């Protein structure tokens, strides 16, 4: 067999030296010396790294991940089934599960099987993992660990209890229920099943809100004796997702129940204090379509906290505004928008002017953040930041607000939200 040429650098040097050296009067040693001299980095006196043809890959050190964590391997992520496949579920919840580091979509639950099968096909969920609202067969699916309930408020109870009886943990959209009695029954069912419930208060994971919470905790705003929180958005009877919100038996109330809960829960969380007294008023303008015939359009509440702090919160189904203001002795912090799905902003005003702190993550992180948080809470036993107890407390406070509005008088409440 014919011997193959030696294409290594040393072989090339040897061949070149023998061929060129004979004609140029250079010996092998002279040629290698010339090659080494020519190989130096001109102007630095330094010899460059070894020839790439001789180098073997040694591996680079671990890179920085820009503040993110490497996702958990897919086989270790918890499986989520989404219950209710409406606008929010398909546009926000399911895509967030797909982006999450600790979760994966493994099931769907709907009263419309054709719709559910279409969603399943789009997101790679097996047909056998599509269920109706009874959920009995869900108990046999070990790939589903958590059920995300996204249905009208009054239907939460039957969905949540069905999921618990199937042996699954539950992530429930806010408000927890349409009244506190239903919320308590769900908590009792969770205790009996030894399963966890978390309420989807996404603002607790929204980067701007988290930055303000940390600023308050550190005392950087000084003394905060007054706060306002206003959440309004137009109700649109022409879209299906708003039609059930006009029915008191399904929604439990109007704007206060739907988005006023952001105003209430947000201030309690940011100030780390539950009000002890409140007084409320509600109002519903007349419209040709009668959209506010059963529910309040506008709600306004004055809150007094044990520390002496005062706050004003409002909700509405007419305008469009989602804003929180904390009035501190060292500065006024403003979230505007405060709880939108995206594009939230945080502005701090003080004697030196205004500045806009820039959180390290986008507002959309709130959806992934809450999903990953509950996944780890279920898997690792970590503390749940927005547990069912918080949801029950807020339901009781909302009921106290409605009582105050009906009576036209101040109402005293306990730390758990119950009326005194």
pLDDT at residue 375 tops 50: yes
47 pLDDT band, cuts 50/70/90, is: low
Average confidence (pLDDT) over 106-131: 98
Q: Are 79 and 104 in contact (CB under 8 A)?
A: yes
- Provide the angle, in degrees to the nearest 10, between the axes of the packed helices 9-24 and 28-38: 120
Report pLDDT for 358.
Answer: 74
pLDDT at residue 54 tops 70: no
Report pLDDT for 162.
Answer: 98
Determine the Cα angle at 230 with ends 227 and 231, to 5°.
Answer: 145
Report pLDDT for 56.
Answer: 56
Closest CA to 283 of 322, 313, 318: 318
Give the chain's mean pLDDT.
89
pLDDT at residue 413 tops 90: yes
pLDDT at residue 38 tops 90: no
18 pLDDT band, cuts 50/70/90, is: very low
Average confidence (pLDDT) over 311-335: 97
Chain mean position to CA 161: 24
pLDDT at residue 317 tops 50: yes
Q: Are 159 and 84 in contact (CB under 8 A)?
A: yes
Type and span of the H or E element at 230: strand 224-232
Report pLDDT for 359.
Answer: 77
pLDDT at residue 11 tops 70: no
Q: Are 158 and 177 in contact (CB under 8 A)?
A: no
pLDDT at residue 36 tops 50: no
Q: Are 327 and 352 in contact (CB under 8 A)?
A: no
Report pLDDT for 328.
Answer: 97
* 135-176 confidence digits (pLDDT tens): 999 999 999 999 999 999 999 999 999 999 999 999 999 999
Report pLDDT for 355.
Answer: 84
pLDDT at residue 186 tops 50: yes
Instruction: Select which of 131, 148, 201, 262 is catalytic.
Output: 262
Report pLDDT for 350.
Answer: 86
Type and span of the H or E element at 30: helix 28-38
Among 65-69, 156-160, 173-177, 330-334, the least confident range: 65-69
* 72-101 confidence digits (pLDDT tens): 888 889 999 999 999 999 999 999 999 999
- pTM metric for this prediction: 0.84
Q: Are 339 and 258 in contact (CB under 8 A)?
A: no
- Cis link prior to 391 (omega < 30° from 0)? no
174 in active site? yes
7 in active site? no
Q: Are 172 and 145 in contact (CB under 8 A)?
A: no
pLDDT at residue 232 tops 60: yes
Report pLDDT for 71.
Answer: 81
Give the whole-angstrom CA distance, residue 343 versus residue 101.
22
Instruction: Select which of 174, 196, 213, 322 is catalytic.
Output: 174
């Amino acid at each position: 067999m014919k011997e193959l040429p030696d294409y290594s650098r040393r072989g090339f040097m040897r061949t070149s030296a023998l061929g060129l050296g004979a004609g140029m009067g250079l010996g092998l040693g002279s040629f290698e010396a010339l090659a080494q001299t020519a190989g130096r980095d001109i102007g630095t006196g330094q010899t460059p790294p070894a020839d790439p043809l001789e180098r073997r890959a040694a591996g680079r050190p671990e890179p920085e991940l820009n503040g993110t964590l490497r996702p958990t391997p897919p086989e270790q992520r918890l499986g989520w089934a989404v219950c209710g496949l409406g606008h929010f579920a398909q546009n926000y919840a399911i895509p967030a599960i797909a982006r999450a580091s600790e979760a994966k979509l493994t099931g769907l639950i709907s009263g419309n099987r054709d719709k559910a099968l279409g969603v399943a096909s789009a997101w790679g969920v097996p047909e056998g993992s599509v269920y109706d609202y009874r959920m009995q067969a869900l108990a046999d699916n070990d790939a589903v660990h958590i059920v995300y309930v996204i249905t009208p408020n009054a239907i939460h109870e039957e969905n949540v209890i069905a999921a618990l009886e199937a042996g699954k943990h539950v992530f429930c959209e806010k408000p927890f229920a349409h009244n506190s009695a239903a919320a308590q029954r769900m908590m009792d069912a969770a205790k009996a099943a030894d399963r966890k419930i978390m309420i989807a208060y996404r603002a607790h994971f929204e980067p701007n809100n988290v930055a303000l919470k940390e600023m308050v905790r550190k005392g950087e705003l000084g003394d905060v004796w007054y706060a306002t929180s206003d959440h309004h958005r137009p109700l649109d009877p022409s879209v299906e997702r708003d039609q059930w919100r006009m029915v008191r038996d399904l929604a439990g109330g109007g704007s206060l129940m739907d988005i006023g809960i952001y105003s209430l829960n947000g201030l309690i969380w940011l100030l780390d204090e539950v009000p002890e007294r409140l007084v409320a008023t509600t109002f519903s303008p007349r419209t040709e379509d009668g959209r506010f015939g059963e529910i309040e359009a506008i709600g306004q509440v004055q809150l007094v906290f044990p520390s002496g702090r005062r706050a004003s919160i409002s909700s509405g189904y007419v305008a469009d505004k989602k804003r929180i203001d904390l009035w501190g002795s060292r500065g006024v912090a403003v979230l505007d928008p405060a709880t939108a799905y995206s594009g939230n902003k945080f502005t701090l005003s003080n004697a030196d002017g205004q500045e806009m702190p820039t959180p390290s993550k986008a507002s959309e992180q709130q959806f992934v953040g809450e999903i990953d948080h509950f996944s780890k809470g279920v898997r690792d036993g970590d503390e749940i930041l927005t547990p069912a107890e918080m949801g029950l407390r807020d339901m009781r406070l909302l009921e106290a607000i409605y009582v105050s509005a009906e009576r036209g008088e101040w109402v005293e409440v306990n730390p758990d939200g119950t009326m005194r």
